[in-house]
Amino acid sequence: MSHVIVVGGGAAGMFAAIAAAKNGHQVTLYEKNEKLGKKIFITGKGRCNITNAADMEELFDAVVTNSKFLYSSFYGYTNQNVIDFFEDAGVPVKIERGNRVFPISDHSSDVIRALEREMKKVGVKVCLNTEVKSVEAEKGKFNKVVLKDTTTQTADACIVATGGLSYRSTGSTGDGFRFAENVGHKVTQCFPSLVPMETKEPWICELQGLSLRNVEAKILDGKKELYKDFGEMLFTHFGVSGPLIISASSYVGKKFMDKNGQKKELTLEIDLKPALTEEQLDHRVLRDFEENHNRQFKNAITKLFPTKLIPVMLELGGIDPEKKYSFFSHKECEYFPCHKTEDPENFNCLFCYCPLYALGERCGGNFRYTENGIKDCTGCMLPHKRENYPYIIGKYGEIMELAKKQER
């Protein structure tokens, strides 16, 4: 019986330890944290997305870089093998949208406990709070591991399962790369992947906890589009996260550095209403404004934006949230009031240039045509009466149809 050391008590480490023990080896697992599966515990919002039940070819299509490298792994131990393993270990599963597989209990702790039980069943020795400082080889062959307390442990083989460089709080501090270099492997430059993104805008922290569904995210390097997809995202205290953003990071991670290895900025564009064309969105906005024409601006856009987003959008747009958007009196204007009126306090300057002018005789206002055929609206107060806002907005459909005909 040979002795195998496993460094790392995450999903990969525990799985490797179980497999090695089932194949007749004596296995010792070292984990530097106080408990096993720290990263498992937080995956899938605490529910643990175990695997994906899609066809194997779909899985390969989802691998962004060098999918051929995983060919033997995917077919050597399939997603169905993973499902069978956990169900046999007492964790029944369910398949949700996008073929994502979760434990029926929706508790990642059940997955961790199942792996712990299986390790105990096959005799794996687990050493918690035990950090491996180095993995050493002699004459091109693994020899021993050196622990933080300087003691050494020899074995016939060593499996390094320490994770990458993300989520340092879970123990993923890049130890594996250092171990690999120490025994002669070449390690390429590391880039972030499947991680949240930081943003520079100060107002982001005001949106912390806001989740957006069915939105489109686009990431640009200058004018070049690097990524575009549809899904769910989340604002955090430092930037953005969620499935859509985390998937995007695997495509654009390398682009956050220039040729000289210096950090550079990319642009994230979020489309809150990707299912609507510009014309449909225009109609939607006008309809909402018409329905709420006597309300303050901040209360007129509650159907357009999530509540938490409204103050930020108003601030970015320079819009007074208390103003009634259907009325604006510009008394500082040198021409105010530009039409004769007995009620200047209710003179609406919002439509300074009447949008109905182009409709000709169909505008509904008080106008006349001069001898030269010019439409004279000097005596018309239609767009300047406070109560006529809904009428003006209601005519926008005709204006748009007229514009389309002129384009043809």
Instruction: Among 182, 205, 223, identify where a domain stops.
Output: 182
How far is it, in rounded angstroms, from Cα 274 to Cα 242? 18
| Beta-ladder partners of 120 | none
Tell me: do 123 and 202 sit in the same domain.
no
Q: Helix axis angle, 396-407 relative to 278-291, nearest 10°?
A: 160
Decide if 247 is inside a domain. Answer: yes
Question: Are 397 and 302 in a shared domain?
Answer: yes
Same domain, 261 and 288: no
**Taking Cα atoms as reference points, which of 79, 57, 78, 77 lies closest to residue 68?**
57
For residue 189, being part of any structural domain is answered with no
CATH of the domain at 259: 2.40.30
Per-residue pLDDT, 259: 73
φ/ψ of 393, rounded to 5, equals: -65, -35
**Structural domain containing residue 258:** 197-271
**Torsion angle defined by CA atoms of residues 220, 221, 227 and 228, in that order, rounded to the nearest 10 degrees:** 10
Check: CB of residue 108 under 8 Å from CB of residue 41: yes
Closest to 16 (Cα-Cα) out of 73, 68, 56: 73
Residue where a domain stops, chosen among 219, 239, 271: 271
Residues 35 and 161 in one domain: yes
Same domain, 39 and 157: yes
Which amino acid makes up residue 66? N
Domain co-membership, 255 together with 403: no
For residue 175, give Cα distances in angstroms to 152, 163, 336. 17, 8, 72
Secondary structure E strands in 189-277: 197-198, 211-221, 224-235, 239-241, 267-271
User: Is 284 within a domain?
Assistant: yes
Side chain identity at residue 259, one-letter code: K
Are residues 106 and 19 part of one domain? yes
Measured between alpha carbons, how far is residue 157 from residues 68, 75, 162, 205, 383 in Å? 26, 24, 16, 48, 84
Q: How far apart are CA 167 and CA 38, in angstroms?
A: 10
Is 149 within a domain?
Answer: yes
Q: Which residues of the chain have pLDDT under 50?
A: none
Q: Kindly provide the b/e burial profile for residues 356-381, where b requires at least 16 CB atoms within 10 angstroms of the residue's own CB.
A: bbebeeebebebeeeeeeebebeebb
* CA separation for the pair 95, 12 (Å, rounded): 22
Same domain, 14 and 34: yes
Could you tell me if 250 and 322 lie in one domain?
Answer: no
Q: Which of 238, 271, 304 is the last residue of a domain?
A: 271
Domain membership of residue 192 (yes or no) is no
Answer for the pair 306, 234: CB distance below 8 angstroms, yes or no. no
Same domain, 250 and 361: no
**Quick one: which H or E segment has residue 6?**
strand 3-7
DSSP E strand stretches across 161-201:
197-198
Q: How many domains does the chain have?
A: 3
CA distance 79 to 72: 13
Q: What is the pLDDT of residues 291-300, one digit of tens each?
A: 776 677 788 8
Q: How many CB atoms lie within 10 A of CB 168?
A: 10
Asked if residue 125 belongs to a domain, the reply is yes
190 found inside a domain? no
Q: Are residues 162 and 240 in the same domain?
A: no
Contact (Cβ atoms closer than 8 angstroms) between residue 183 and residue 160: no
- Clarify whether residues 324 and 368 are in a common domain: yes
Residue 187 domain-assigned? no
φ, ψ of residue 184 to 5 degrees: the values are 105, 5
CATH number at 108 reads 3.50.50.60
